[in-house]
Every structure is written in C-alpha cells, then in structure tokens.
Chains A and B, each alone.
Chain A
Amino acid sequence: MQTNLLEYLEGTVQRVPDKPAYVSEREGLSFLEVSERSRAIGSFLGRQGYRREPVVIFMRKSPYTVTAFFGTIYAGCFYVPIDEEMPAHRIELIFENLNPRAMICDAETRKAAENMPYKGSIYQYEEICEEPEDKKLLLDIRRNALDIDPVYIVFTSGSTGVPKGVVACHRSVIDYIEQLSKVLNFSEKTIFGNQSPFYFDACLKELYPTAKFGATTYLIPKELFSFPVKLVDFLNQYKINTVCWVVSALTMISGFGVFETKKPEYLHTIAFGSEVFPVRQFNIWKDTLPDASFVNLYGPTEATGMSCYYRADRKFEPDEVIPVGRPFENTQILLLKEDQTLAAEGEEGEICIRGTAVTLGYYNDFQRTGEAFVQNPLNTSYPDIIYRTGDIGKYNQEGELIFVSRRDYQIKHMGHRIELGEIEACAAKMDKIRSVCCIYHKEQEKIILFYTGEMERGDVAARLKEALPRYMVPNRVRKLETMPLTPNGKLDRVSLEREYIQQINKKKGE
C-alpha cells in the first residue's frame, strides 16, 4: 500500500528518467533531474535537523519550485508556498500562524525574503539544490514517516481577516490523486497546461499526476491569461491535451471569439471548477471541441482539492445549471438540514464531506478547526469527522448534487475563494475610514467596496492593493455619505446591492 506521495516520483524516475516532467518557458526538468534535486534538498534540510515542521517556499513559480516542495517532503517536513506577489501584511499574518524555522527562496526573491519580519533561516534554492544526497538519512526519515503526516499547508481566506492554513496529509492527497486520475483518465500521454498558482491546492491536479504517470506539465505564463489568442497558440505549440482551469480562463477564450479563427488542436480533456460555468460559454466550448471530455469539479481546500465530479457530456439549456454531480469514490457527501438530518431529493441542505480526503484541519487553530471539522451528527457511537463546507446544495431528479448558494459571505471570484469579511477587515483598519461594507455583484462578477470616511477613492484603492492579494482587491470602490443600516442597526447589504444596480442601469441608459 502506498503511504507516501514521493512513491509516485520514485516509480516514475525508474521508468522514464529522461522524459520532461515540469517545463516553463525559461526552464525544464526531467524526472531524473526532479528526483536528484528533490533528494538533494531533502538531504540538506534533513541534515539541518528539520522534522515534521513547516518549510516556507518563497520562490518564483517555476519547475524548480516543484523540487523544493518534494525536497521538503523528503526531509519529512511540509511545504508552505508563499507567492512572490503576496502583500507583506498577509505574509506577516501567515508567519505569525506558522512560526517557521526554515524558508527556501531563490535568487530573485532573496531580497524580499530578507526584508520579511522573520527570524528563521533563509536558504537559497540555487545553493542547496546540488547538495550531496544522503541515502541513509533519507531512508531513515522515510522509515519514520506516516501517511497521516502533513504534506503541505495552503492558506485560504478567513472572514476575520486572518487567513486559515489548511493542513493536508499524504493519505488525503494520495486518495485525491488516485480518484481524480481515474475520473479524468490521466496517463503517461497526458500533457498538462497548468494555470493555477502553486500557493493553492488547485495545482495538485497537475503536479502529482505528472509524477505518478510520468506525464508532462507545462507551466503557462500568467500573462497569457489576459491574451486569448496567445494562450491558444501556447496550447497548440506544446501539444497540450489536458487542462484543469478556473472557469474564467476558459470563458475568456470563448467569450472573445477566438474559436472563429483558431482552436486548441490537441485538447481532449477539460476539467473546470470552483465556480459556475455560464451555459452559453460552455456550449461554445462543447461545439468547438465536440469529442473532448468536459468535467465539472467541485470541492473545498479542506477536503483536499476536489470532492465531486460531473461529466458534462451534452449541451445545456440556457436556464440549466451544470451539476456538481457525485462524489469521487471513497468520499461521501452528507446533505444536512438545519435539524441535522439528511435532506431528501429536492430539499436543500449543507454540503458536508466525509472520507480520507478530509484534511487535518487549520494549522495552529483548534478553535476554527473545531467549528468546521465536526463530529458526524448521524453517528453517536465513535469519532467520525466530517467537514462542513458552508455550501448549500440539493439533489436533482437524477440524484445529482446541485450547488445552490453560500450560507455566509464567502464568494468565488475568478476561481478564488474569498471572504468578503476579510476585505472589509482590511479596509476598516485604515485610519480615516469610518465604516465599510463589501458586496459581490454576481452577474458582473465584481467585488464592490462601499465606505464612509475622509479618504479619497484613489487612496483607498492604493492601500487595498498594498494589503490584499491582487485577486481580492475590489473591482469598484465607492464612497458614501452614510452607510445604510437595517432597522436593527446592521449593515444593509441588500439596499447597497440595489443602489449599485440602479446606478449602473442609470449609466447604461445615459
């Protein structure tokens, strides 16, 4: 039985050592090179005495970053990817939570790394990736490793303004990779075009199946996702046949009419998720690539990547919603009503997830872990943890799960999961701001921040960009004289939404 994720790489490097594994425009690594570098880094970290603790990876996104991840696992530690574009304040909060002793940076991020409020050791990738391998040490670390030991921590938005670090172990990730690979038919012939950043669990879909099957992953430069023709050219140039992208990346290609002049020639597997695929755009894709397989994926970071899938093997009517479908094998969905009993067909309930893929919880945060990772209310006999997603769903007549709404103010924007509360908390901290309220306009897919206070709009926007990750920065900032309140004194989001819609309609009419 496989108990460690690195077994994927170790099997593959015997089989196809010289095949390209991870490739970007600037650099590429074969499986042998991935293995050598990972083992070198693992030996180095091991010799420094790090064990079962977080190692922060602060590197430009590249094939080398993957070997820093694997190297960390070789050392029996867990990697925590930090993005080079992450704002300083967010990194500070993450460090407060982690209290890390080790960080790996690269030549380009070195300076920024040294300026961080961090007292642990900084190692530069270029200096440690060719360290001598210590076979005996690596074997010793592996013998002591368990499949319930963490592999990584990724941070997700927290409504209080403090991000939550989701900890996933080997067993959960192996379960996810096995099930996902079956559903999407990955093989040695798979050529991935990676879109998602490395600081989210979304990139698991490419990184580990590549190691498992001896496939190849091309890292697509982020800028291409603004320029659709170049993006399709890239897919064709590298004969990319499989993509697991956020919906907005796919709709950008179809929405700009790229298919009128060219189409992705090699693409046969298209997985998407994290948000609703507008049916009109989906149908354009389906018409353009009728033989390709389209799969909708659904799942929270807390249950390791994705938990449910739906094969979208037909076109949809304009008023239809593409279902979330059903859970992967070895994962169970409980649709729980407020009275903690199971919802029947057509009834709404909270989507709760049970199975090996449920992660260990939030790092250094037993309180918030306890609120979301709870005892299965249907089981009063022994410990049985489920994860409550906060998503409301229901079953359709075919028994397929449908996403209905959120229970709180969490949104999905461009594939990113965001707590509006985190944006509000950030804005509320500014000196000259009296009150704030953040809403999400679904049709326009815009985050709108309303505020009252003495600050100018431009200054507020500039400060938000300094403090929040780019994807969380509001698309509109509006200054108000007074903040509308409900009769019981709460922020009146409904009236703000109404007012905003009136405003844009008025503008359209002009």
Chain B
Amino acid sequence: MEELLEILQEMHPDVDFELCDTLIDDKILDSFDIVELVSEISNTFDVRIPAEAIVPENFNSAETIYALIESLENED
C-alpha cells in the first residue's frame, strides 16, 4: 500500500489519497493519470492489469486500486 500511495502522491501531491474515494467521480484522475498509473503499477508490482479491469469502480480510491493489485497478484 505504501508503494501505491507513493506513486499516487507523486502524481498529485495536493490530494489525500488515504481519504479520497472519489478519484474518478470527482475527476481527480484523468485519462493521462490512468495510463500512467496502470504502467507504474505493472512496473512496481509486476502484475499485468487486463483491459477489462480498467473500469471506474476499480480506480475510485487507493483502497480499490490496491485491492485490484492484490487480486491480480493472487492469480499468479
């Protein structure tokens, strides 16, 4: 989780990612951020996020993003 928060904090130092659960709904993450985030996550956690998993529900908070990463890690 620490690593994920670090990635997010780099992108938006003004956002409290531990609290925010409307990252998509409030347009905090835009399409550029999603592209970057997906690539950073696959590099850092060594998982591949399939296109079908790139949906708003999975990206609304650090928690949901982390849950996605964990579910992908468990698949291996």
> A interface vs B, CB < 8 Å?
223, 225-230, 248-249, 252, 255-258, 260-261, 414, 445, 457-462, 465, 470, 475-477, 508
Contacts and interface: CB of A to CB of B under 8 A. Distances in A.
Given A252-B35, A260-B51, A227 B56 contact: yes
B29 A226 contact: yes
B36 interface: yes
A457 B51 contact: no
Q: Is the interface of A mostly helix, strand, loop or mixed?
A: helix
Contact of B13 (A248, A252, A256, A477): A477
A240 B29 CA distance: 27
Interface in B50-70: 50-52, 54-56, 59
Contact of A248 (B32, B50, B54): B32
25 contacts: A223-B24, A223-B56, A226-B29, A226-B34, A226-B56, A226-B59, A227-B56, A228-B54, A229-B52, A229-B54, A248-B31, A252-B35, A256-B38, A256-B49, A256-B51, A257-B50, A258-B51, A260-B51, A414-B31, A461-B13, A461-B14, A462-B14, A465-B14, A475-B32, A475-B36
Contacts of A226: 24, 29-31, 34, 54, 56, 59
A249 B30 CA distance: 12
A230 B49 CA distance: 15
B16 to A, nearest CB: 9
B1 interface: no
A459 B14 contact: yes
Nearest to B48: A257
Contacts of B2: none
Contacts of B10: 476
Contact of A225 (B29, B31, B49, B56): B31
B35 A457 contact: no
Contacts of A462: 14
B32 A261 contact: no
Nearest to A459: B14
Nearest to B25: A223
A102 B21 CA distance: 40
B12 to A, nearest CB: 6
Nearest to B34: A226
Interface in B7-25: 10-14, 24
Contacts of B51: 228-229, 256-258, 260-261
Most buried by A among B31, B52, B55, B56: B31
Contacts of B30: 226, 470
A255 B14 contact: no
B11 A227 contact: no
Contacts of A458: 13-14
Given A255-B35, A256-B38, A470-B30, A230 B14 contact: no
A194 to B, nearest CB: 16
A460 B13 CA distance: 9
A471 B28 CA distance: 12
B57 to A, nearest CB: 10
Specify which of A226, A230, A261 lies most central, judged by the most chain B CB atoms within 10 Å of its CB. A226
B70 to A, nearest CB: 20
A258 to B, nearest CB: 4
Contact of A261 (B34, B36, B52, B56): B52
A236 to B, nearest CB: 15
A351 to B, nearest CB: 27
B15 to A, nearest CB: 8
A112 to B, nearest CB: 16
B71 to A, nearest CB: 17
Given A226-B54, A228-B54, A258-B51, 18 more contacts: A223-B56, A226-B34, A227-B34, A229-B51, A229-B52, A229-B55, A248-B35, A249-B31, A252-B34, A257-B50, A261-B51, A445-B32, A457-B13, A459-B14, A461-B13, A462-B14, A470-B30, A475-B11
Nearest to A232: B51
Contacts of B49: 256
B64 to A, nearest CB: 14
Contacts of A257: 50-51
Contacts of B55: 227, 229-230
